[in-house]
Structure 1
């Protein structure tokens, strides 16, 4: 079967993403005890919003999860003492506050994320990686 150039490019991007994401996930979990999606959710929740309430959809979009999976993720973060959750003004919003524990994790997590991302990109097999994607990732 002959794949189109578009599907070939998508396949290359998908393989690259999975490789990098897997390495980042492993490092974040080993060093911080959180998954990539949990860390992204905390970063999203740390951004100021007016009014200070969050729509599940916004957190879901930032993490690439469905609304129900995001709700489960938020429950895990709550049980682990990373967030407090209150009722928002309506049924679509939650009053979510990061705890000091979450703020500390975000602070120490930023260099871990940067380091693990750079290491994952550096570990790519240059002979098997699209040169345009490599140039993009390396900031050329």
Structure 2
């Protein structure tokens, strides 16, 4: 299989098995455009796509793998653990950002309450002094 002209693996945007049946040995890899490949057998195609999934999960620096469409269950079984982990990581990052925003808002409200309490204390002290001196 010749991949001359293809981009780097991190630029892979989609993997299309064209058909998830043993009738088709062709598959497409999408980089800046589609590149069509043909394996010598369906088994070779399936193993190659499994290897691509494994390489993506290993070398994409924490990014989720590109979508794999029209592939067998054997191929997709190599992807969910990575996709689930990545999805959970993204949810965790989002929750951390939201938590940070809420803490920031809470800090701001706490400062406002402290200022309000100080102002209330000063006003109460002034009123007490006023009534004390006028009695």
Q: Same fold (TM over 0.5)?
A: no
Q: Which has the higher contact order (CA 8 A, sep 6+)?
A: 1
Larger gyration radius, structure 1 or structure 2: 2
Which of the two has greater helix per residue? Answer: 1
Calculate the TM-score normalised by the size of structure 2. Answer: 0.29
Calculate the TM-score normalised by the size of structure 1. Answer: 0.29
